[in-house]
Structure 1
Amino acid sequence: MRALLVVNPAATTTSARTRDVLIHALASEMKLEAVTTEYRGHGRDLGRQAAESSDIDLVVALGGDGTVNEVVNGLLHAGPDPDRLPRLAVVPGGSTNVFARALGLPNDAVEATGAVLDALRDKSERVVGLGLASGTPGTEDEAVPARWFTFNAGLGFDGGVVGRVEQQREMGKKSTHALYVRQVARQLFGEPNRRHGAITLERAGEEPVTGLVVSIVSNTAPWTYLGNRPMYASPKASFDTGLDVFGLTRLSMPAVARYGTQLLNSSPEHGPHGKHAVGLHDLDRFTLHSKAPLPLQMDGDHLGLRTSVTFTGVRRALRVIV
């Protein structure tokens, strides 16, 4: 087997020594080429090269969710074809690693490497569905390139939090769960649409959902982790179905207290609920519109401001080693 290992040297939870150990472990089981990313988007370029190659069977992403997202977008640049494209394996090296953990992999890089090697020996794999976000035809965002996401996306409040975190990281702050919590609080107090949301969800054959302040799109559950605590915005979301949406129409202090507590205590059986909460399950295609440009995030990556984004749930998009 020939494999490409994409290594993010800035991965927050692995040292250079640990990465060397993992590379040697993987190289002992396959013909491995290891490449260290050197710029933003490099993982996407490497994934695309692997997809266009005729002799690469496996791509291993060693890094956080951002690294995985780049590699996936490179692999799927010409569209999904799980029977032709190289398989994907993930070794978590970031601060949260939602995609890897949602697949059932250990959150420790060394243990996850062992699990991946065991899965390769056992020929254990699955085909997962992914989300695709694109500019909406007939709007000013029509020309925005489509982008795949593996576990979640968010327009509005969620995207604003991610944008604030990225600003802090550019200033030298480490990506920690405490940093995210602080930015959630700052985004909340700076949110101009706390009581009257500007987002509308439209889907064919259904009445639009209006007045959303929060719009979280999930491709799997959990939505994210706070430390080791999983948080389920859409408990029914799955790699085997379409996309789920969790929305809130109000972010008043009582609403924040209620739904924040529900998120902290959420489980695979119970997610946030109430008169200001909206939950939609297994959607194939829908559009989020905003009256004003709002921040968009996908897999924890801030993508700027958008007024309209169309989301598509693509079943059987990619073959993954688990």
Structure 2
Amino acid sequence: MRALLVVNPAATTTSARVRDVLIHALASEMKLEAITTEYRGHARDLGRRAAESKDIELVVALGGDGTVNEVVNGLLHNGPDLERLPGLAVVPGGSTNVFARALGLPNDAVEATGAILDALRERRERTVSLGLAAGTPGSEDEGVPSRWFTFCAGLGFDAGVVGRVEQQRERGKRSTHALYVRQVVRQFLDESNRRHGAITLERPGEDPVTDLVLSIICNTSPYTYLGNRPMYASPEASFETALDVLSLSKLSSVAAARYGTQLLTSTPERGPHGKHAVSLHDLTDFSLHSKVPLPFQMDGDHLGLRTSVTFTGVRRALRVIV
């Protein structure tokens, strides 16, 4: 088997020495080419190169969720093709590693590498769904390129938190769970992030859902992790179905405390709920429209402000080694 290993040298939880050990272990089982990313978007370019290759059978992403997202977008540049495209394996090297953990892989790069090698020997793989987001035709975001996501997207509050965290990281702060918690508090205290009725959700054949403050789109469950604690925004979401949505129509101090507590104590059976919570399951096509530009994120990557985004849930989009 010929494989391409995409290595993010800035991965927060792996050292250069550990990465060398992992490369050696993988190379002992396959014909491996390892390339270290050098710029933002490099992993996407490498994924596209692998997709266009005639002999690469597997792409291994060594890094966090951002690296995985770039590789997936490169692999699926021309759309899903289970028969032709290489499979994907993920070695977690980021601070949260939601996609890898949602697949059931250990949250340790060495253990995950061992699990992947076992899966290759036993020919174990899984076909997963993905989400696709694009600018809505006829809106001011119409020209925004489409982009795949593996586990979540968000418009509004949670995307604002992601943006604040990225700003702090650019200033040299380490990506820690305490950093995320501080930015959640600061995002909430910013009154401009607590508007009522900014977002409308539209889907074919259904009445619009209006007056929403935030929307979280999930391709799997859990939605994210706080340390080792999984957080279930949409417990029914899975890699076997299309997309789930959790939206809130109110974010007052009382409502934020209620739904924040529900998220922290959520389980695989029960997520945030109540009269201001809207939960939708297994959506294939829908769009979100905002009266004002709002922060937008995909797989934990802040993508700026958007007023309109169209989502597509694509089943059986990618082969993953597990």
Whether TM-score is above 0.5 comes out as yes
> Residue 272 of structure 2 aligns with which residue?
272
Alignment-mate amino acid for residue 113 of structure 2: T
- In the superposition, the TM-score normalised over structure 2's length comes to 0.99
CA distance in 2 between counterparts of 1:121 and 1:191 reads 54
What's the offset of the Cα at 1:88? 0.1
Alignment-mate amino acid for residue 100 of structure 1: A
CA distance in 2 between counterparts of 1:127 and 1:193 reads 38
CA distance in 2 between counterparts of 1:211 and 1:169 reads 33
What's the offset of the Cα at 1:193? 4.8
Range that drifts further, 110-119 or 252-261: 252-261
Which aligned runs of 4 or more in structure 1 are off by greater than 2 angstroms? none
State the Cα deviation string for residues 196-229 of structure 1 (Å, max 9, x = none).
1301100011111111111000000000000000
CA distance in 2 between counterparts of 1:272 and 1:291 reads 25
CA distance in 2 between counterparts of 1:184 and 1:197 reads 21
Q: Which blocks of at least 5 consecutive residues in structure 1 are unaligned?
A: none
Range that drifts further, 189-198 or 136-145: 189-198
CA distance in 2 between counterparts of 1:169 and 1:155 reads 21
Distance 1:153 1:68, change over 3 A: same
CA distance in 2 between counterparts of 1:193 and 1:173 reads 23
State the Cα deviation string for residues 130-172 of structure 1 (Å, max 9, x = none).
0000010111111100000000000111111111010000000
> Residue 261 of structure 2 aligns with which residue?
261
The within-5 A match list for 1:11-26 is 11-26=11-26
- In the superposition, the TM-score normalised over structure 1's length comes to 0.99
CA distance in 1 between counterparts of 2:305 and 2:271 reads 28
CA distance in 1 between counterparts of 2:39 and 2:227 reads 28
State the Cα deviation string for residues 54-102 of structure 1 (Å, max 9, x = none).
0100000000000000000000000001111000000000000000000
Equivalent residues of 2:196, 2:212 under 8 A apart: yes
CA distance in 2 between counterparts of 1:109 and 1:126 reads 20
CA distance in 1 between counterparts of 2:12 and 2:268 reads 28
Equivalent residues of 1:195, 1:252 under 8 A apart: no
CA distance in 2 between counterparts of 1:259 and 1:172 reads 31
> Residue 212 of structure 1 aligns with which residue?
212
CA distance in 2 between counterparts of 1:197 and 1:11 reads 38
Equivalent residues of 1:157, 1:191 under 8 A apart: no
Alignment-mate amino acid for residue 318 of structure 1: L
CA distance in 2 between counterparts of 1:64 and 1:131 reads 18
1:303 aligns with 2:303: yes
1:94 aligns with 2:94: yes
> Residue 68 of structure 1 aligns with which residue?
68
CA distance in 2 between counterparts of 1:83 and 1:233 reads 33
Q: Give the aligned CA root-mean-square deviation in angstroms.
A: 0.7
The within-5 A match list for 1:191-210 is 191-194=191-194, 196-210=196-210
Equivalent residues of 1:50, 1:75 under 8 A apart: yes
> Residue 113 of structure 2 aligns with which residue?
113
Q: Kindly tell me the number of residue pairs found equivalent between the two proteins.
A: 322
CA distance in 2 between counterparts of 1:186 and 1:115 reads 39
Alignment-mate amino acid for residue 293 of structure 1: P
Alignment-mate amino acid for residue 252 of structure 2: S
